[in-house]
Amino acid sequence: MRVFLDTDVILDCVLARSGFDKDATSILSLCETGSVVGLTSTLILANCHYVFSKQETASKSRKVIARLRALLTVCAVGDRELGEGLVSKFKDLEDGIQYFTALNNKAELIVTRNTRDFKHAALPVMLPREFLISRKNS
């Protein structure tokens, strides 16, 4: 299964955000074991680096991004995704860009804590907990 991970899921794991980190870590563990193919985008990793580097040294932040890059399939964001995002019904341009990056890279679903931001998505969109429960039930 190809699962696109939104920024918040990655940040929850790496920053150990209380109340959210266990589910996010479980999802990244599924990616690590090959149980699912975790997808993310160059834009998401750049955003994560920005957030990480506010709390850690730039060097440590780059090491985290390198680890994520090795763990996940990193999808390029290009002119196509930008164009599709610009003309889409997504209120937030970044969410539109992420959605079309996921769609154009054959993701089967998106995992995010901001499901309401993806109400125009044709792909299934799940909270981390919902995704983990669906895996147990299948």
| Within-domain flag for 135 | no
Are the CB atoms for 102 and 4 separated by under 8 Å?
Answer: yes
Q: Does residue 138 belong to any structural domain of this protein?
A: no
pLDDT by residue (tens digit) across 45-96?
A: 999 999 999 988 889 999 999 999 999 999 999 999 999 999 999 999 999 9
- Do the domain assignments include residue 33? yes
Per-residue tokens: 122: 């044709």
Record the pTM.
0.95
Q: Which domain holds residue 111?
A: 2-129
CA distances to 70, 78, 79, 83, 89 from 9, rounded to whole Å, are: 17, 22, 25, 25, 23
Question: What are the tokens at 93?
Answer: 């341009």
Cβ contact 132:31 at 8 Å: no
Measure the CA–CA gap between 10 and 68, rounded to whole angstroms.
Answer: 9
Q: The CATH number of the domain where 107 resides is what? A: 3.40.50.1010
What digits encode the pLDDT tens for the residues 99-117? 999 999 999 999 999 999 9
